[in-house]
Structure 1
C-alpha cells in the first residue's frame, strides 16, 4: 500500500485562563494577539482561499474589523481567547483550533487555587431551584454526560453571555455549589461560549439545542440514553457469541498504533474463523493514517480508490511538518515520507503542492473471514477516522451504523505555532483534499451511516442483532 499522510486531531478546543487582570494587562495585548492569529491563518491555512472568496470576502472583512475593534476593550485572557475563537468560527473548520502550550501545562497546578478564587459564584434559593424544575425552553436543571454534576441554567446576561450554568451539586474533586461553570450566548440552534473543567480551565463549547438536551447535558427528569457503558480503554475486544467478535478503537493517535496492531494480532485466530466483526469507532477523533493499517486486510474486498491531497507550502507549514518528523515513536517510513513532503514544499513555496497522489489501492487477496463487518460511528468520529471510513465503505463487507460523523477532513494535517504573547498554541490545517474539486467534500456534512441508530438504543446490541440475523 502507498504511504498515507498523517493527520493529527485534537478532541477539543481548549482555552486557558490562569492569569489575573493585572498580569494580562501588563504583558499581553488582545488586539496584538488577534492580529497575530489573523496573519497566521491568512498565510498558512490551506482552506483560506476557498473560504474567503468573491462571495464571502466582504463578510469576512467586516467580521474581522468588528473583532479587531472589540479586542481593543478586552482586558482578560479568557475573553480574548473567546473572541478569537468566535472569529475563527467563520471558517467552519474543526481543524482550526486553539490549545494550551507546554508552558501553560507546567503552570496549571500552580495556578489552580488562583483560578478557583477567581471563578464567579451565584447563589440560588430553594424557590428558584423549584421554579427551574418546571421551566421550558433553555433554562432549567441539567445533568452532565456522566451524571457527576447537577447544573442550573439560568438567564443571566452580560457582554459575553446570555445564560449562566450554576453548579447545584457535583462529585468530590470537581466543582463547588454556586460556581458559574457555563457562560453561553444564544445562537440559531446552539449555545456557544465557555465551560470550565474541573481544573477551572475554560473550554470553548458549542451546545446543540435539541429537545431536552443542551449538547451532552440532559434536562433533569427527561428520558435518558440506553445506559450503555463506554470502556475507558483505548483498545478493547470481546467475543459476543460464537459468530461475532467485538473490537473497540478509541483513537488512531500514533501513540495507540502499537496497541491496535497488538490487538489485531492477539485476535488473529478469532478474525480468521468468526463470520462477523463489530468495529466500534465511536468518539474516535482521528490520529495518524498508518494506525489503521492492521484493520484493512480484514475488511478489504476490492480495489479501493483513494483521492489525494495538496499541502500549502509556506515557511510556517514547513516548520510544522519538520517538527512532526521528530515525534517519538514515528515509524521510519513515515519520517522518510515527511522528508519528501518537506522537499516538495521547499521547491514550491507559496503554492499548493501535491504530496499524496490519487491512487487505486489493491491487496493480494481477500480474507475469507470476517464475512460481514459493522462499523459503529457517531458525531465524534473525525479526521483520520473519516479517512478510514471513506475507504472502508467501499468494501462489500462493511455496513456503517450509528449517526453522521463530524465532517472534519477536507482540510487536514494540522500544524501549529505558539501565540506571540499568551500561553496558547494556534493550530491550522495545512493540506487540502482534492475531493473538494470533485464535489465530494464532507466538511460540516459528515459521512452518513447505512443504518441510523438513536441515543436511546444500545448500539452494540443493535449491531449484534443486525449482523447475526
Structure 2
C-alpha cells in the first residue's frame, strides 16, 4: 500500500539530521517512526487505515509534522504526538513520556480538591444497610490483585449476609483481568462464555510480551506463565499473522464454582464513560449473570484492541504504547464504537454531590424503592 503516506515518511527520513539538536527535530524524529511501526505491529492500525482512508492519514501526518517541527519543548511534543496517535484510535494507543519503567507505573489517583489527599485506588467495602453493601473498585491494575482477593476472602461472612450488592466501577480505567477474576465467582450464574482474542505475531510484539511482566508485575508467576504461553502461541505462526491466545480456539465456556457461602440476589454495577479496557471486559463478563444489571452510562470504548505493550521511540525519552491483540468478537460485536451500553441509563451527574447520590438511588432501588432522583 505504497502512497504519499509512506513517501512523506521517507522524505522526512532522508532529510533528517543524524543527531537532532532542537526539540522540534527530536519531535519529528519520533513522529516519523510511528506510522510504519503501527502498520506492522499494532492490531488495529491496518483496519483503521482501511476504514478512514489514506487521505485522512496523509493529512493527519502532514499536520502533525508541521506542529512537531515547531515544538518548543518536550512537553509540547508529547501533546502533539498523543494527538496524532489519537487520530488513529481514541483508546489503547498512546505516546507516553519517560522510560518503560515510568510508563508501567499505575497513574496516581487525583484529589477532588487541590491540596487534599488523593483517594486510594485499592478496592474497598462499605456496608450501607442490613441488606445492601457497596464495593468500590477504582482500578483493576495488576498491583491490586492481591488486595481484591484479600478483601473478598476477609469479608466472606459480610458479603454472604447481604443480598444486594452495588459494584462501583465508575472511573475505573482497567488494568488486568486477573484482578477482578475472584469477584466473578460471587456474581456469576455458573457458566460464562468468553470470545477470547488473537495475538499479532511480529518480532516487536514478541519482544514486548517477554518484557511486560518484569515491568508490570515483577515476580508474579501467573503473569510469567501467561507471557510464556503468549510467546509460544505467537511463534506458531509466521510474522505478520494472527495466532489464537489459546490452543482450544477463540470461544470458550467456563464453569465457575460459587463460594460455599450465599451469592447476592441482586447486583447493580455502576458504570460511566471512564470505565475502560479491563473494566469493560469485566462488564461483558458480569452482564452474563442473571443477577446483574449495568446502571449508568456507556463505557469508554477501548477494548477491541488490547494487551498494550511498549516500544521506545527513537529519542529514547518517550514510549509508544500500542495493542498486540484483537478481540475475536470483531467485526460483529465492536465495543470501541460507542462503549458498552447500560441496562438502565442514568443521565450524567452535574456535580460530585449528584454523583454520590447515584449510589443512594441505586441502593433505594435494590431495596424495593425507586431510582427516581430526590425531589422528583
Match for 2:240 among 345, 350, 359? 350
Counterpart Cα distance in 2 of 1:432 and 1:340: 17
Counterpart Cα distance in 2 of 1:69 and 1:98: 18
Alignment of 1:224-239 (within 5 A): 231-239=119-127
Q: Residue in 2 aligned with 1:294?
A: 182
Residue 382 (structure 1) aligned with residue 247 (structure 2) = no
Counterpart Cα distance in 2 of 1:268 and 1:78: 47
Q: Residue in 1 aligned with 2:162?
A: 274
Which structure dedicates a bigger proportion of its chain to helix?
Answer: 2
SS at match of 2:125: strand
Alignment of 1:208-223 (within 5 A): none
Contact 1:379 1:406 in 2 (8 A): yes
Match for 2:285 among 370, 373, 391? 391
Counterpart Cα distance in 2 of 1:333 and 1:39: 33
Match for 1:452 among 337, 345, 348? 345
Match for 1:370 among 261, 264, 271? 264
Residue 416 (structure 1) aligned with residue 310 (structure 2) = yes
Counterpart Cα distance in 2 of 1:271 and 1:427: 38
Q: Residue in 1 aligned with 2:98?
A: 101
Identify if the C-alpha distance between structure 1 residues 231 and 77 changes in structure 2 by more than 3 Å, giving closer, same or farther: closer
Q: Residue in 2 aligned with 1:405?
A: 299
Structure 1, unaligned stretches of length 5 or more?
1-22, 107-143, 149-170, 173-228
Identify if the C-alpha distance between structure 1 residues 280 and 73 changes in structure 2 by more than 3 Å, giving closer, same or farther: closer
Identify if the C-alpha distance between structure 1 residues 270 and 336 changes in structure 2 by more than 3 Å, giving closer, same or farther: same
Identify if the C-alpha distance between structure 1 residues 269 and 386 changes in structure 2 by more than 3 Å, giving closer, same or farther: same
Identify if the C-alpha distance between structure 1 residues 427 and 55 changes in structure 2 by more than 3 Å, giving closer, same or farther: closer
- TM-score (norm: length of structure 2): 0.80
Q: How many positions carry a matched residue from both structures?
A: 331
Q: CA deviation at 1:351?
A: 1.1
Which structure dedicates a bigger proportion of its chain to strand?
Answer: 1
Identify if the C-alpha distance between structure 1 residues 102 and 49 changes in structure 2 by more than 3 Å, giving closer, same or farther: closer
Structure 1 segments of 4 or more deviating over 6 A?
A: 103-106
Structure 2, unaligned stretches of length 5 or more?
1-19, 104-109, 369-376
SS at match of 1:347: coil
Q: Residue in 2 aligned with 1:464?
A: 363
Identify if the C-alpha distance between structure 1 residues 362 and 322 changes in structure 2 by more than 3 Å, giving closer, same or farther: same
Q: Residue in 1 aligned with 2:34?
A: 37
Q: CA deviation at 1:231?
A: 4.8
Q: CA deviation at 1:422?
A: 5.1
RMSD between aligned residues: 2.8
Q: CA deviation at 1:450?
A: 1.6
Match for 2:228 among 339, 351, 360? 339
Describe the superposition over 1:66-86 as per-residue Cα deviations: whole angstroms up to 9, x where unpaired: 433443444433333332222
Describe the superposition over 1:30-52 as per-residue Cα deviations: whole angstroms up to 9, x where unpaired: 22111112232222111011101
